Structure 1
Amino acid sequence: MARTAAALHILVKTKDECLALKQQLDKGANFQQLAKRHSLCPSKKRGGDLGEFRKGDMVKPFDDAVFKGEELVVLGPVKTKFGYHLIKVLYKN
């Protein structure tokens, strides 16, 4: 099982906003551009790039989605105490 991963994410306040962004992504919108424009996380400056992190570093719902989900597919909405996330796993090791 993977112990590290790298991912991009977009964090927003509402599930509806999250679903609307996912629709845009499904139609071919650029994940990193949407992150820069809409995400509430400081990672938005890097297009939502969280870099590499270890299993257990993130809050449980986020961690579960990353380590159980597929790579290069937009996962979400994933609800955490911070809001709603769309997550794109770049790789897992």
Structure 2
Amino acid sequence: MPVAMARHILVKTAAEAEQLKQRLARGEDFATLARKHSTCGSAKRGGDLGEIRPGQMVRSIDAVIFKKPLNVVHGPVKSQFGYHLVQVYFRD
């Protein structure tokens, strides 16, 4: 079964996600922004979600993790929890 490792930042609005994405594009640190802005419990780990297998995450996030290119910030991706910026850093 495939396995991936990813990190994310979860915020309430698409506008907030877009602002954070622009800050990331300018070179700000993902983990620092996740700790400061993410509403997910993973924020204290810099947004790190750890090892993920297909079906563990909501469908929209699962699709990003297992189908989109590595080491790129994807999003904002909408889910029932809010808006995510997702970066996959390992996939096997």
Number of aligned residue pairs: give it. 92
- The within-5 A match list for 1:1-93 is 3-93=2-92
Q: Secondary structure at the match of 1:67?
A: helix
Q: Secondary structure at the match of 2:88?
A: strand
- The two structures have a TM-score, normalised by structure 1, of 0.96
For 1:21, give the aligned amino acid. L
CA RMSD of aligned residues (A): 0.9
Question: What is the CA distance between 1:3 and its match in structure 2?
Answer: 1.3
Using the alignment, how far apart are the partners of 2:80 and 2:12 within structure 1? 10
- The two structures have a TM-score, normalised by structure 2, of 0.97
For 2:72, give the aligned amino acid. V
Q: Which runs of 5+ in 2 are unaligned?
A: none
For 1:83, give the aligned amino acid. G
Q: Which runs of 5+ in 1 are unaligned?
A: none
